[in-house]
């Protein structure tokens, strides 16, 4: 289960976008003297609140949260940086005698932390990166992703073709090392005793929640948030501003599409993202305990966590 007989505990609450992870995790962490470490790649960035569905100030105040608002939109974190900072936050929570909860929907983040990935330590090569970016401009994101799929099908399967930064990085590592990017992600002994709980909803219900969330984002000022980011000098080409909800509104603000078209695209892209999330969190995964999301979820999750903590003999 981990490197030592008596390893520290980590509770993971995962699931797709809009399933209800935030409220469930906060309720359970409140009851169990816990602290939350975000495993959502979009919550890292300051000034990106509405489009990321970042927890509200009153929610953040209920339980200590970590790895939210820790960097600027122009300072993109690598997976290695995230993993290192997550390990640090979890260790500090254990040192305080409290229970860490890793909460989010970014499958790669969760796997890297839970499974102890050894991430390729290949330094960036600016000249090679420039060549690859020029190639991407010539071929387009989909074309470059197809080249990656030829060299490393497994890596390509785990990277969305629209995420040009990750596609370029995978190709950079392959070309510099002569080895498949996916083969270089070795696993160390698991660093924690881990309980993984997944929240699920029927797909139609989940999509309805997504639509309601998008309406709420617009009412709360998503267009103004994107406008402010651009006015601050952040380029629309930044990976952070290519995230769902931001790139579509950028397209609207730049006159490429209408607002109705932008909203339709946000809905479509979010549905596609939810389907990709399912590739990371599969119902048949024996390490994940699946629970139906909703008002009844928190007490069920709390009960499972308490039972598990008793089984492993953990005392704060």
Q: How confident is the model at residue 316 (pLDDT cuts 50, 70, 90)?
A: low
Tokens of 223: 């267009």
Q: Among 204, 208, 158, which Cα is nearest to 180's?
A: 158
Choose from 162-166, 239-243, 263-267 the range with maximum mean pLDDT: 263-267
The predicted-structure confidence for 89-126, as pLDDT tens digits, reads as follows 999 999 999 999 999 999 999 999 999 988 766 666 77
- In the sheet where 288-292 sits, what is the strand order? 65-66, 34-38, 99-104, 9-14, 193-200, 288-292
Instruction: Determine which helix (DSSP H) or strand (DSSP E) holds 157, and give its type and residue range.
Output: helix 153-157
Answer positive or negative: Cα dihedral of 284, 286, 287, 289: positive
What letter would DSSP give residue 239?
Answer: G
Indicate left, alpha or beta for 47 from its phi (over 0: left) and psi (-120 to 50: alpha). left
Q: Indicate the SS3 state at residue 158.
A: coil
Longest dimension (CA), the chain: 59
Q: Helices 222-231 and 203-220 meet at what angle, rounded to 10? A: 60
Instruction: State the pLDDT at residue 5.
Output: 52
Q: All domains of the chain, ordered by start, with CATH?
A: 9-119+187-312 (3.40.50.300), 126-184 (1.10.20.140)
Instruction: State the pLDDT at residue 6.
Output: 67
In this prediction, residues 262-285 reach a mean pLDDT of 92
Answer positive or negative: Cα dihedral of 259, 263, 265, 266: positive
Instruction: State the pLDDT at residue 261.
Output: 98
Asked whether the beta carbons of 26 and 61 are under 8 A apart, the reply is no
Asked whether the beta carbons of 227 and 221 are under 8 A apart, the reply is no
The predicted-structure confidence for 29-86, as pLDDT tens digits, reads as follows 999 999 999 999 999 999 999 999 999 999 999 999 999 999 999 998 988 899 999 9
What letter would DSSP give residue 282?
Answer: -
Residue 155 pLDDT exceeds 70:
yes
Task: Label residue 137 exposed, middle or buried (CB < 10 Å: 0-12, 13-18, 19+).
Answer: exposed
User: Regarding beta strands 99-104 and 186-187, do their DSSP bridges make them parallel or antiparallel, or are they unpaired?
Assistant: unpaired
The predicted-structure confidence for 167-186, as pLDDT tens digits, reads as follows 888 898 899 888 888 776 66
Enter the pTM of the model: 0.83
Instruction: State the pLDDT at residue 3.
Output: 43
* Cα three-residue angle 249-251-257, rounded to 5 degrees: 105
């Amino acid at each position: 289960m981990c490197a030592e007989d008596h390893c520290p505990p980590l509770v993971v609450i995962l699931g797709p976008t809009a399933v209800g992870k935030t409220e469930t995790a906060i309720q359970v962490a409140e009851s169990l003297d816990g602290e939350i470490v975000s495993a959502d790649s979009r919550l890292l960035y300051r000034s990106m609140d509405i489009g990321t569905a970042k927890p509200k100030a009153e929610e953040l105040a209920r339980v200590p949260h970590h790895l939210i608002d820790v960097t600027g939109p122009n300072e993109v974190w690598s997976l290695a940086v995230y993993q290192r900072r997550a390990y640090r936050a979890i260790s500090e929570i254990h040192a305080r005698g409290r229970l860490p909860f890793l909460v989010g929907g970014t499958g790669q983040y969760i796997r890297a932390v839970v499974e102890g990935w050894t991430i390729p330590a290949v330094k960036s090569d600016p000249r090679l990166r420039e060549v690859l970016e020029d190639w991407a401009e010539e071929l387009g994101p989909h074309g470059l992703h197809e080249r990656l799929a030829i060299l490393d099908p497994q890596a390509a399967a785990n990277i969305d073709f629209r995420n040009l930064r990750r596609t370029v990085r995978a190709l950079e590592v392959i070309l510099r090392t002569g080895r498949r990017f996916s083969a270089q992600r070795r696993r160390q002994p698991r660093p924690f005793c881990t309980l993984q709980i997944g929240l699920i909803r029927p797909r139609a219900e989940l999509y309805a929640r997504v639509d309601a969330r998008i309406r709420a984002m617009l009412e709360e000022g998503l267009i103004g948030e994107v406008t402010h980011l651009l006015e601050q000098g952040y380029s629309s080409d930044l990976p952070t501003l290519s995230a769902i909800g931001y790139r579509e509104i950028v397209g609207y603000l730049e006159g490429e599409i209408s607002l109705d078209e932008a909203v339709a695209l946000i809905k479509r892209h979010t549905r596609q993202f939810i389907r990709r999330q399912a590739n990371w969190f599969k119902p048949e995964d024996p390490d994940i305990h699946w629970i139906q999301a909703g008002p009844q979820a928190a007490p069920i999750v709390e009960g499972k966590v308490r039972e598990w903590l008793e089984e492993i003999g953990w005392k704060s």
